[in-house]
Amino acid sequence: EVQLLESGGGLVQPGGSLRLSCAASGFTFSNYAMNWVRQVPGRGLEWVSGIGGGGDDTYYADSVKGRFTISRDNSKNTLYLQMNSLRAEDTAVYYCAKDAVPRNSVWDWFDPWGRGTLVAVSS
Amino acid sequence: EIVLTQSPGTLSLSPGERATLSCRASQSISNSYLAWYQQKPGQAPRLLIYGASSRATGIPDRFSGSGSGTDFTLAISRLEPEDFAVYYCQHYGSSPFVYTFGQGTKVESK
């Protein structure tokens, strides 16, 4: 069974940093692109960032470009999101999501998603 | 970047009724690169449909997707109590790369 488990969320002050992790199991992690998607409580979904299976190809939404860095460690089956210069508007539940089709680059729909980790940016 | 607009915002129906949800794209979506997800309170989104009309593994056949170009539809033939949730459409497979989601349609019990 494919499982994705996010961790690392919490309360951080504006301008601060946080690193999220997503531990993956149940599939050959390096064969799949991975993504981060966020959701402000009570609001819709926003794709944040994606990374190819090998880790060389990375993609970002304009809203986080230059502040967030996605990476992965295929030896540990773990996806990361380093978030710097955090703003109040980054407050959300952050989900990791697996591309559904084995491919080196992000391209496909998401299946499955993790349960999410809450990031709250407030003074 | 393609913008997806879902309608209606909220659909109030009774169990056993048919639900029809719309997702309209600001530009034509090639190869029907559109997916639908269901999200219940406190849970992660769950894949229902990909490629506009292909049901994901384990999804009941009361869920069906259709459409092409700029107009897509998710239909639930007979609502079960567990189907009351929020539904999102998603565009994928574009370059330069970005995924986009619709704003969601809430299906609530009347």
> Would you state the pLDDT for residue A105?
83
For A2, residues 6+ apart whose C-beta sits below 8 A from its C-beta are A24, A25, A26, A27, A98, A112
Query: Strands, DSSP E only, in B1-110?
Result: 4-7, 10-13, 19-29, 34-39, 46-50, 54-55, 63-76, 85-91, 100-101, 105-109
The one-digit pLDDT tens for each residue of chain B (110 residues) are: 899 999 999 999 999 999 999 999 999 998 899 999 999 999 999 999 999 999 999 999 999 999 999 999 999 999 999 999 999 999 998 876 679 999 999 999 99
CB–CB contact B97 A46 (8 Å):
no
pLDDT digits (tens, 9 = 90+) for A32-86: 999 999 999 999 999 999 999 999 999 999 999 999 999 999 999 999 999 999 9
CB–CB contact A108 B46 (8 Å):
no
Query: Is A15 a residue whose pLDDT tops 80?
Result: yes
Q: Is B53 an interface residue toward A (CB < 8 Å)?
A: no
pLDDT digits (tens, 9 = 90+) for A72-123: 999 999 999 999 999 999 999 999 999 999 988 888 999 999 999 999 999 9
> Would you state the pLDDT for residue B1?
83
From chain A, the residues in CB contact with B98 under 8 A are 47, 59, 61
Three-state secondary-structure class, residue B83: helix
Bond into B96 cis (ω within 30): yes
Token code pair at residue A3: 């499982």
Distance between CA atoms of B6 and A29, rounded to whole angstroms?
33
From chain B, the residues in CB contact with A111 under 8 A are 47, 50, 56
Distance between CA atoms of B95 and A106, rounded to whole angstroms?
10
Q: Is B46 an interface residue toward A (CB < 8 Å)?
A: yes
Q: Which of A46, A109, A116 sits opposite B47 (nearest CB)?
A: A109
Alpha-carbon separation of residue A123 from A11, A62, A76, A85, A86 (angstroms):
9, 25, 34, 13, 11
| Residue A113 identity | W
> Would you state the pLDDT for residue A7?
98
**pLDDT > 70 in chain B, percent:** 98
Q: Residue A46 pairs with which residues in a beta bridge?
A: A38
CB–CB contact B93 A59 (8 Å):
no
Token code pair at residue A54: 């090998």
> Would you state the pLDDT for residue B94?
80
Per-chain mean pLDDT for chain A: 96
Query: Is A8 a residue whose pLDDT tops 90?
Result: yes
Taking CA–CA distances from A115, the nearest residue in chain B reads B44
From chain B, the residues in CB contact with A115 under 8 A are 43-44
